Structure 1
Amino acid sequence: MSQASVLTVPADRDTRSTILATGRRVMGAKGFSAVGLSEILGEAGVPKGSFYHHFGSKDAFGEAMLGAYFEDYLREMDLVVTKPGLTGAERLMLYFANWRETQGAMDCQGRCLTVKLAAEVSDLSETMRRALKAGTDGVIARLAAMIGAGVDDGSIRIASTARDVATSLYHQWLGASVMVKILRVEDPFDCAARTTRQMIGQIAA
């Protein structure tokens, strides 16, 4: 490989990462349809040719952006799933405490793409819908792992399968995040936290 090729590969990766990070931030605030490529590229400081070098279309960019978002999100989630010295129930409640902290902000700066974009892009693009499904499946699988570990260590008591409870909890917290945006108060998170504790046997139903 020539010296020029060696230098080009990292530069290409940096440009692609810059475009993705800028798109995540801007679309996380404004939505997918409301943001044009020119705005993303202007914010990123890269020419249009660089965009089409990495992405064939806006939909392809959206798919890649969601993939990168979930890769980062699941990596952070794995730190909670494997956090030593905690019971399964403590790990689960820590995850939802982190959720509340990041999703509760009125301006979450691209950290809540599932809440922000799911309903919009699932109707616009099948590839983006599949990217969302793959990412949310990963979240639910990790929730199920925490719940299963809690059942094993005795900190969680459930009447259904770990997967079913994980799915119900994830759907509940997604709904709570939407309602927080509508109501501009965090009461829906309080309700979700109480219901979560009930579902895992931490408090009486």
Structure 2
Amino acid sequence: MTITKPKARRGRPPNVEREFTDTREALLRSGMEMLTEQGFATTGIDAILKRINVPKGSFYNYFKNKEAFGQEVLRQYALYFARKLDYCFLNEQVSAMQRISDFVEDAKSGMIKHEFRRGCLVGNLGQEIIVLPDSFRCELENILLDWQERLAVCLRLAVQQGQIPSNSDCDELAAFFWIGWEGAVLRAKLTQDVSPLDTFFPRFCSRNTEVIFLFIFLDDRSKFFYSFIDDWSK
């Protein structure tokens, strides 16, 4: 018996792995967009699939269930947000406090761009924690701790640069920032404007100090200056 060797197909071979990756990434992007707008509990799988025209059967090729999908969306969001923080907090072209201010301004621009429909996924899920699977609790806490540490590093640099008092507890300030930030983002979604962020950030800068930092942006380079005045809140 003669076995006939099949003829090789002409052209480039089909990239099955790429198809898998593209569909999976499309699902995650769709999920991230919807979860930042609506939260986990009220977002159905069907709505996520409809948004990108993916059949329901395909979803279960990549994710065991909605919980597994939500956890992966959260992990991808954490990676995305960590890159955003690094872009701002590790920018050696500007001072430490300017880096934090740049992050705030970028966040304000993002909220305006999306017409205040999207908030912070971590904050959204944190508000739903009572109804979420237990697996989310530890993941959310670890993400927040990671953000705190990234900010604390930037604040320690601010101490070295003489922008905040030398006795500042940078870990405590970083924790305070994210606690207040999530509340400010939520309030901004409610009011449909960035004034809650504008209210929060200056008060964060004066937290546990005897001074108020004034942020003045001048010329095309938006140079950062700060001056100290007595804290009139006493």
Residue 49 of structure 1 is matched in structure 2 by 57
* Corresponding residue SS for 1:107: coil
Give the superposition deviation at 1:122: 5.3
Q: Which amino acid aligns with 1:27?
A: L
Deviating runs (4+, > 4 A) in structure 1? 3-6, 108-111
Q: Report the more deviating stretch, 149-158 or 53-62.
A: 149-158
Q: Which string of whole-angstrom CA distances, capped at 9 and with x for unpartnered residues, describes residues 168-196 of structure 1?
A: 01111111112222333433222212202
Q: Say how many residue pairs are matched.
A: 203
TM-score with structure 1 length normalisation?
0.87
- Summarize the alignment of residues 56-67 of structure 1 with structure 2, pairs less than 5 Å apart: 56-67=64-75
Mapped to 2, the partners of 1:121 and 1:10 lie a distance apart of 35
TM-superposed deviation, 1:78: 0.6
Question: Quick one: distance in 2 between partners of 1:12 and 1:34?
Answer: 27
Are 1:14 and 2:31 an aligned pair? no
Contact 2:119 2:185 in 1 (8 A): no
TM-fit CA distance, 1:160 = 3.8
Higher relative contact order (CA 8 A, sep 6+): 1
Q: Which has the larger radius of gyration?
A: 2
C-alpha distance 88-151 of structure 1, shift in aligned 2 (>3 A): same
Partner Cα separation in structure 1 for residue 159 and residue 130 of structure 2: 34
SS of the residue corresponding to residue 194 of structure 1 reads: helix
- Deviation of the 1:48 alpha carbon: 1.9
Instruction: Select the structure that is richer in helix.
Output: 1
What percentage of aligned pairs have identical amino acids? 24
1:116 Cα deviation after fit: 2.8
2:4 maps to which residue?
none
Q: Is the 8 A contact 2:36 2:118 kept in 1?
A: yes
Deviation at 1:40, TM superposition (A): 0.9
Q: Within 2, Cα distance between the matches of 1:93 and 1:30?
A: 28
- The answer to whether residue 18 in structure 2 is matched with residue 23 in structure 1 is no
The answer to whether the Cα contact below 8 Å between 1:144 and 1:163 also exists between their aligned partners in 2 is yes
Please give the residue correspondences for 1:56-135 in structure 2 after superposition, counting only pairs within 5 Å.
56-103=64-111, 107-108=115-116, 110=118, 112-121=120-129, 123-135=131-143
Amino acid at match of 1:100: K
Q: How does 1:138-149 map to 2 (within 5 A)?
A: 138-149=146-157
Q: Which structure shows the bigger proportion of residues in strand conformation?
A: 2
1:161 Cα deviation from its structure 2 partner: 1.6
Q: Distance in 1 between matches of 2:133 and 2:45?
A: 17
Cα distance, 1:132–1:103 mapped onto 2, change above 3 Å: farther
Residue 190 of structure 1 pairs with residue 185 of structure 2: no
